[in-house]
Amino acid sequence: MTIQWYPGHMAKAKREMTEKLKMIDAVFELVDARIPMSSRNPMIDEIIGDKPRLLLLNKSDMADPKMTKEWQDFFSSISISAIPLNSQKGTGVQSITTAAQQLLKEKLDKMRAKGMNPRAIRGLIVGIPNVGKSTLINRLANKKIAKTGDRPGITKQQQWIKVGKALELLDTPGILWPKFEEPVTGLRLAVTGAIKDELLDFQELALFLLTYLRENYPENLLHRYHLDELHENPLDLLEAIAKKRGFLMSGGMIDYDRCAEMLLREYRTEKLGKITLERPGDFYVFKHANTKD
């Protein structure tokens, strides 16, 4: 799978975010709870430096709850506080303010000790495209904030969105482009729908997904497609599913393309269940700003 990667995108995003960072106290990094590592831009640590940061595991309604807990424990073990969210419904969103206060406790306590009344914490939501940044901002603002887009020549004044008394957010999120050296990261992003479908090879994605599901969620596959067995070879498995669903072309040939598309769609719409596509143990190296090499 080849996915175009334009260094120019990242350079621009980095420049814009560096400007925004000057105005804020904390970063709210939004990731997809189904792929908490693959949906992070690895350059984020370098960009935000030592700015306090909360990790928000969005779309947790679609992730495996057991795995989400494992991910929270993992992040906690490297001193990152991670909160599961469903920005669409608002679940977990209320805890962001308290978690931000906890994160900035030392700074706020110092201000109080000096007799100052701490102002609202200023935050910036950052994340890769489609991870749910606008949905979360609208949810926190309790109204629809217009998408600003990138219209050349129009300079927009930065607006602050009040979230209660204790928190305010910049109304334009920081967009980071996904970047990956490992092909498996790209496959995970693609399966969740984070990469434009036109760029994808559905059969390759379906075979990748089937290999993972067979190993980690065999019951879900058996149950959903009424299979009698789970073939070891993912292509045989795709064929068995296609036959069960009647995806045949003239002459009885298997329509692998249609079956692959259906499988992806069913994953993305939770027909296959709540499934997380990566586990903390899959990552042996994790670099974080707070971790010394």
DSSP 175-197: E-----SSHHHHHHHHHHT-S-G
CB 283 within 8 A of CB 37: yes
Nearer to ligand GTP, 101 or 130 (CB): 130
By the rule CB under 6 A, 213 interacts with ligand GTP: no
Q: Which of 43, 81, 88, 245 binds ligand GTP (CB under 6 A)?
A: 88
Residues 131-150 contacting ligand GTP, CB under 6 A: 131-135
Q: Which residue is nearest to ligand GTP (CB)?
A: 132
Q: Is 95 among the residues that bind ligand GTP (CB under 6 A)?
A: no
Residue 266 interacting with ligand GTP (CB under 6 A): no
Token couple for 89: 């419904």
Nearer to ligand GTP, 186 or 234 (CB): 186
Find out whether 59 is annotated in a ligand binding site. Answer: yes
Closest CB 222 distance from ligand GTP, rounded Å: 25
Of 137, 146, 150, 130, which is closest to residue 12 (Cα–Cα)?
A: 150
Tell me if 134 is assigned to a ligand binding site. yes
The answer on whether 163 is annotated among ligand-binding residues is no
Find the shortest distance in angstroms from Cβ 166 to ligand GTP.
Answer: 23
H helices of the chain, where?
7-21, 44-48, 65-77, 95-103, 105-113, 133-141, 183-192, 202-216, 218-224, 234-245, 256-268
User: Is 290 known as a binding-site position?
Assistant: no
Query: First-to-last CA distance in the chain?
Result: 32
User: Looking only at residues 19 through 78 of this chain, which bind ligand GTP when binding is defined by CB under 6 A?
Assistant: 58-59, 61-62
Residue from 100, 175, 189, 277 that binds ligand GTP (CB under 6 A)? 175
61 marked ligand binding residue: yes
In whole angstroms, what is the distance from residue 203 CA to residue 222 CA? 20
For residue 135, say whether it is annotated as part of any ligand binding site.
Answer: yes
Q: How many CB atoms lie within 10 A of CB 279?
A: 15
Contact 220, 209 (CB under 8 A): no
Binding residues: 58-61, 86-87, 130-135, 174
Binding residues for GTP: 58-61, 86-87, 130-135, 174
Residues near ligand GTP, by CB under 6 A:
58-59, 61-62, 85-88, 127, 129-135, 175
